Amino acid sequence: MTATAAPSAVKRQRPNILVTGTPGTGKTTLSELVALALGYEHINVSELVKAHSLHDGYDEAFDTFILNDDKLCDELEEQLGAATGGYVVDFHTCDVFPERWFDLVVVLRTDNTVLYDRLTERGYSDKKRSENVECEIMQVVLEEARESYQEEIVVELQSDTVEQMESNTERIQEWAKAWLANNA
């Protein structure tokens, strides 16, 4: 992981980090650990969408809210577009966000067997579980990140075990320290 700055009109004091991946890969857990370790604020976009009605209703067939990209970006602009930085954002997609908001995009990947078990434990329907496992197999979120952000800020990390989660937390902490040193 190299600690380069993302292209931005605003020079941030601290980096903003996006943690993305297929549902069940450990985004929220990792984001909470990283935010705690760095003293940054964690933004769980799924919870924000529900709490602030940043959606256009509920899709029963897919058991999910229909995201309103404009409402979401308007809600987050003041925080993520600001010069202070210091946010760890987690969401299962990344192409809705402006590139200028993030200095590091972490895409979590999980073995399909592990992912299947996690989604089963969450009570996902067969349809929703199959759809998400297929997305992981096809690397949908990874490809989306690579198409939406500069190559040097997109990092793929494996997230199957507690040990990998701890290692990922440490790697991101080290990256943030290097970013701060390089962008002081």
Residue range 122-155, pLDDT digits in tens: 999 999 999 999 999 999 999 999 999 999 999 9
Using DSSP, state whether 14 is helix, strand or coil.
coil
User: CATH classification of 17-173, choosing from 2.60.40.1190, 3.40.50.300, 3.10.450.50, 3.40.50.2300?
Assistant: 3.40.50.300
**CA geometry: angle at 46 spanning 17 and 93, to 5°?**
55
The pLDDT mean for the chain works out to 93
Q: Please indicate if the annotation marks 110 as binding a ligand.
A: no
Q: Where are the domains of the chain?
A: 17-173
Q: Please indicate if the annotation marks 24 as binding a ligand.
A: yes
Q: Please indicate if the annotation marks 122 as binding a ligand.
A: yes
Q: Please indicate if the annotation marks 25 as binding a ligand.
A: no
Confidence band of 62 (pLDDT split at 50, 70, 90): confident
Q: Please indicate if the annotation marks 28 as binding a ligand.
A: yes
Structure tokens at 55: 């959606």
**Reported pTM:** 0.92
From first CA to last CA, the distance across the chain in angstroms is 18
